[in-house]
Structure 1
Amino acid sequence: MVSHPEYAVTAELDVMVETRDGVELATDIYRPADPDTGEPIDEPKPVLLDRTPYGKRGRMERHGEWYAKRGYVVAIQDCRGRFNSGGDYYIFINEPEDGYDTVEWLADQPYCDGQVGTFGTSYGAWVQNALATQDPPHLEAMFVNQGAANGRKATFRHNGTFELRWLCWAFTLGGGFAQRALEDSDIQQRLANVDVRDVLANGPAQPGQSPLRHIPDYEEWAFDIMTQGAASDELWQEPGMNFEAYYDESADVPTVYSGAWYDSYTKATCDNFEALAERKDSDHFLLMGPWTHGWNSYPLPSWNKSYSGELEFGEQALRDYQETRLRFFDHYLKGKDTWDDQPTVQYFQMGTGDGEQTREGRLFHGGEWRSGEEWPLPDTEFTTYYIHEDGRLTTDEPTAEDAATSYEFDPRDPVPTIGGNCSSYITYEPREENILEYPLSERKLQDLTGRGGFDQRTREDTFGAEPPYGPLEERNDVLVYRTPPLEEDVEIAGPIRVRVYGSTDAPDTDFTAKLIDEHPPSEEFPNGAAINLCDSICRGRYRGYRDEPDLLEDGEVYEFEMEPYPTANVFKEGHRIRLDISSSNYPRYDVNNNTGGPLYGDREYRTATNTVHHNAEYATQIELPIQSR
């Protein structure tokens, strides 16, 4: 039986935890208390640590109280340089040591029984993995929800490109609550007045010319991650940025890696589980739902939503986030039998629904929970589908000796992003009131891209789209390859690989890939629906996962390897499996100007003629993880 709420709660606010370099981190401590007297109980309890850059009050207080009532001490800490904590803020760099020092400080307190567990989502997941690289002696368990693995490979940067969400974040949730902005209402007002859509539309931001100039430390790290792409750049070897490089020395403690098929950290979540479950002796678990990233809901990042974008999955998709974490910590920190029946791998298989329209107007995609013992699933049959010059996507290898399709890629007219594995592509709602009349903390955030599964057609609110609106496949720079209507269901679950054999007349360019479940026309959806499942991109100069840039030669054929994020979906009978190939997906990724110039900040543009090859020698393909039932 899980711990039940039997205690009152007492809180000690802004306890300053001193780190090794003398910086003090503001920490709120929630302790179980005697329900009659209100005094903290004497019995030491396990401590749960949540470190956040978003402020530790408000909803976080209820979070701390919830676990304290159930017999845990809860420490919620402002990260270095944020809110009430001291020091200077540079995104993620100081989190490994700060996290280690906090774990050990907590373990030394009389209210702690010597065990410290960690939890948190998104940034709160990054900081857990960061401190784990330092292997704190008293760290005993982690519940890592929606976090990173290697910031250069897929999160800050992605196969050579930059995920523009971090620039959006720097202007909004980051810079808007920088200490300097909190101390100076004029600076916060300047940031509140920024419409991120204008920043993106006006071309690359320039150092010293954007509103970030008012918070120079934020401008520094933002431009560092935008302009530094080589693995040799010291930034990408820091333990707070690249946990993958420190897997072997990282803590060996029971860990849940939880995430979602439409999260911005899907690949990283699966990568962490796969690598660490193999390396470590402790129990490791993977839990993947059909949700999106959850920056706007608390304490459930998205687990309490049965939909993602325009897709409805039904009530079976819902999970109780708090209870799930409680069962895990009760088992590993209190010795209760609350996690014994948890599968090593548990995931939501999307796509078993009937495709009807719900009352809310969503497409009922449906799904059900499945389980396994490892990831990728042991009986996976990795099956290759090849593209052909007539637009087919089949398991037959192409036999043509010379077959290719070309298109013009104009970086000034990129393919718009419509949903997918997106988060933090946001701006604050424009307001006439000043920051004192309408505080930034109360302003709504507006989504620029959508998150989750969407019919891949532009509409009036699609960022970067112009009328006439319509299916992306009608663009001249989007190549579409689809199977014939399926004669039986095809189930996939696992990692996906794409190899585009491409050439260009530019010194650098990008290729993109997007996997789509193409629904047939129906009475409710007379045009059918092209539902995105996952996507990826490859910047030419970093093709083949190379560490250092290498520009392209005119007309030479290269292999552009991509890993669209893992997913689990049933392509139902009558549907088509579809692969879209292009050269941009904006603003999910920054646009390649095709000049071979700077990674970010180039104001020169060049239209490239890009060619995708589909012949016997250069067989562009996608590898799908087929599951048999």
Structure 2
Amino acid sequence: MPEIRSIETAWIPMPDGARLAARMWMPEEAARTPLPAILEYIPYRRRDRTRMRDESMHPRLAEAGYVSIRVDMRGAGDSDGLMADEYSEQEIQDGADVIAWIAAQEWCDGKVGMFGKSWGAYTSFQVAAKRPPALKAIAPVMGTDDRWLEDIHFYGGVLANDNFWWGSIMQLLNALPPDPQIVGADKWREKWKERLDAMTFWPALWLQHQTHDHMWRRGSISENYDDVAIPVYFFGGWADLFRDTPFRIAEHLKGPVKVLMGPWAHLYPHEGIPGPKADFLDEMIRWWNLWLKGEDTGLVDEPLLRFWMQEGVAPAGYHSERPGRWVEEAAWPSPNVSERGLWLNAAGLGDEADTNGEPMRIASSTDYGKAGGDMCSFAIPGDMPVDLRHDAGGALLFRSPPLDEATDILGQPSVDLVVSADRPQGFVAVTLADEAPDGAQTLITRGFANFAHRNGDERPSPVIPGEEMRISVPLHGIAQRVAAGHRLVLHVASTYWPILWPSPEIVTLTLKPGHSRLNLPVRHATPDAPDPRALPEPAPRAKRKATQLREGKLERDWRMDLKTGTLVHRVFIDGGVFGPVGDVRLDETGTVIGDVSERIYEIGPDPLSARAIMKQSGFFRRDDWNPRFETWSEMTATKTHFVLKASVTCRDGEEEFHHVDWHHEIPRNGM
């Protein structure tokens, strides 16, 4: 095993004089022979918040012969400066400057690779689009090429409640101080105060951009795929949000593209849930060895696209495993996939259009969508969709006959709707389910479309009540087998709470039989194809250098007030945003971390009763350092405006250090 030197903090100077804080893992041989470097560049605090996750990856990359570097973005962790928004021009330029600095160091041979999950995937794409000469390949994990089509803000042009939820999480993260052991006991309060004074409430910032404008074009490599000219290995999961990007980049990027899509939630594949897990680090090292060391690792000889074809399962809010098999395709679109059309007839889904029958109408209740879980699962128990029969009464249902044979769906289904609405503002929510012989309905995929965006996402236009509209509704990408004897069931609804913010009024949709169609990408058997290369199981995880001081807990439920008709969704996590980890001491630094969060979405029979609330608190504790922070945020709406209120309170021990309140009223623009 090569000897690895861990450098707790290295300072990377930026051209304007700011310094970014980095943690590094350096093989001792780099002092004699320059090595390639691997960069992870995110805002999530390398010193504490991602410390344990970083230690599960970066030392192994160093053992494979790379200098591995984890950098906090400007304004985050211990780095200098301020963070004004996600994916800013400054952030991406800093990323390119970090790569230039790495390549110029005597321990680097001038070749750099870049990877990261979620935010780190975005920045991998975006920095690659700036074409820094030393960046030779990237490995984005669970991010997107298109911030308008596939981000947490809007789904199908409809406002997502994740815009509020994730922005509220960043409200807390942006309030955290630098570590006095790193920036100095005499400077940390000054730097903390500077950050706090500059803070804004990001959900309001994002909500001021309700169309496909410059905000979302910035950082979307789909605006010009030719900007990314280096090899890309994309990793994703079917329980994650970012399920369409692999199909688009495989079709549009000109350089080498490789894709691995597993059954996973928003986790690195070596930690992947649902299983089976895959040794992400082994796969990534094969990638870097090919493009940074010039070794023949066999990757270019394989089909470039690999997908986990999921078998059907009974619906549940948590799956530890998803049975299935790996399938491979050489290119996308694939000649092995053809489209099957099923018409939305009065009698259900049919191979032929049948226009007989009366128009079909639905005015979905405001609680439709309660079975949908989260759009982006983190594999927290309860965050995956449950039995869609809980929602079946609030939608038009179109069932297929029982399937004569198993059907493999691979790609992005879509629905071509001919529909009218009785209000000037509305949307459609379409859900495709696998219905077992016992009637249980398991989500396959879903998609949404804002009627005001039927003529384009740049300029919303009100619906003309009663006028037929032709709406194309793309559903999220999926690879899933529907067993023989099961049925496909399509839900068509006019609400989807709590995933989507509701229209201002109850909307009635009208569809004529035989005028709308479900388009299914069906994969055909390829009996002559060789079995895919086996993916190794992840290596046993090294013992974490942390001590659990207090157990956390998780509560998640929905409840209906039968007096008022109010539905309340609640998620309470004691010990973190993404899992009930309790209070933890990081043994190497002595820092104790604790967090509590509570998210509440409530709605009554009137869409204008919708209300979202987020409460968070947290602390760091070490010796005489005990900063504490509390945040609160709320979103409501009138018929014409969104109303957002929020506050942040920070304490240095028991003494209040900073407090701010925000109040925003933002006009609704086709939402």
Identify which of 135, 140, 154 aligns with 1:139: 135
Matches within 5 A, 1:337-486: 337-340=296-299, 341-351=301-311, 366-390=323-347, 392-400=348-356, 403-411=358-366, 413-419=367-373, 421-423=375-377, 450-451=383-384, 454-457=386-389, 471-473=390-392, 475=393, 477-486=394-403
Partner-residue secondary structure (3-state), 1:291: coil
Task: Select 2:513's aligned residue among 611, 614, 618.
Answer: 614
- Alignment-mate amino acid for residue 87 of structure 1: G
What residue in structure 1 maps to residue 86 of structure 2?
A: 91
> For residue 51 of structure 1, what is the aligned residue in structure 2?
41
Q: Which runs of 5+ in 1 are unaligned?
A: 1-5, 35-39, 185-213, 295-300, 308-312, 425-444, 458-470, 522-527, 594-605
Aligned partner of 1:243 among 212, 217, 221:
221
Task: Tell me what 1:196 maps to.
Answer: none
Number of residue pairs the alignment of both structures matches:
503
Indicate the SS of the match to 2:263.
strand
State the AA in 1 paired with 2:509: N
SS at match of 2:139: strand
* Counterpart for residue 155 of structure 2: 158
Instruction: Compute the displacement of 1:362 (Å).
Output: 6.0
Checking the alignment, whether the CA contact within 8 Å between 1:51 and 1:124 is kept in structure 2 is: yes
Return 51-60 or 573-582, whichever deviates more: 51-60
Q: Out of 15, 22, 38, which is 1:27 matched to?
A: 22
How far residue 305 of structure 1 moved from its aligned partner, in angstroms, is 4.1
Structure 1 residue 47 displacement after superposition: 0.4
Cα shift readout 1:474-508 (whole Å, capped 9, x = no counterpart)? x2x31111101111112211121112222112111
Counterparts of 2:135 and 2:324, CA distance in 1? 36
In the TM superposition, what are the counterparts of 1:238-387 in structure 2 within 5 Å? Answer: 238=218, 240=219, 242-250=220-228, 252-276=229-253, 279-280=254-255, 283-294=256-267, 301-305=268-272, 307=274, 317-340=276-299, 341-351=301-311, 366-387=323-344
TM-score by length of 2: 0.70
Residue 607 of structure 1 deviates from its aligned partner by 2.1
Contact 2:78 2:179 in 1 (8 A): no
The one-character-per-residue Cα deviations of 1:164-185 (angstroms, maximum 9, x if unpaired) are: 223212223x22221456689x
What is the correspondence of 1:471-550 to structure 2 with a 5 Å cutoff?
A: 471-473=390-392, 475=393, 477-521=394-438, 528-550=439-461
8 Å Cα contact 1:511-1:560 kept in structure 2 = no
**Structure 2 runs not aligned, ≥5 long:** 181-194, 526-671
Mapped to 1, the partners of 2:327 and 2:341 lie a distance apart of 24
Give the 3 Å change call, closer, same or farther, for CA 84–498 of structure 1 in structure 2. Answer: same
Deviations 1:293-344 (A, max 9, x none): 12xxxxxx2454463xxxxx7xxx3311111111111122122232334421
Task: Provide the identity percentage.
Answer: 24
Measured after TM superposition, the shift of residue 356 of structure 1 is 8.1
More moved, 479-488 vs 498-507 = 498-507
Per-residue deviation at 1:379? 2.5
Cα 1:13–1:357, aligned 2, differ >3 Å: closer, same or farther?
Answer: closer
Counterpart code for 1:110: E
Separation in 1, partners of 2:374, 2:79: 35
Pick the aligned partner of 2:202 from 221, 224, 227: 221
Q: Deviations over 1:189-213 (max 9, x none)?
A: xxxxxxxxxxxxxxxxxxxxxxxxx
Whether the aligned pair in 1 keeps the contact of 2:412 and 2:521 (CA below 8 Å) is yes
Q: Secondary structure at the match of 1:105?
A: helix
Distance in 2 separating the partners of 1:181 and 1:409: 46
CA contact (8 A) 1:51 1:78 kept: yes
Corresponding residue for residue 121 of structure 2: 125
Question: RMSD value over aligned CA atoms?
Answer: 2.7
Q: Deviations over 1:595-617 (max 9, x none)?
A: xxxxxxxxxxx2222223334xx
Tell me the distance in 2 between the aligned counterparts of 1:152 and 1:216. Answer: 30
Greater share of strand: 2
* Greater relative CO, 1 or 2 (CA 8 Å, sep 6+): 1
1:178 is aligned, of 161, 174, 177, to: 174
Contact 2:422 2:465 in 1 (8 A): yes
**TM superposition shift of 1:132:** 1.2
**TM-score, scaled to structure 1:** 0.75
C-alpha displacement of 1:143: 0.8
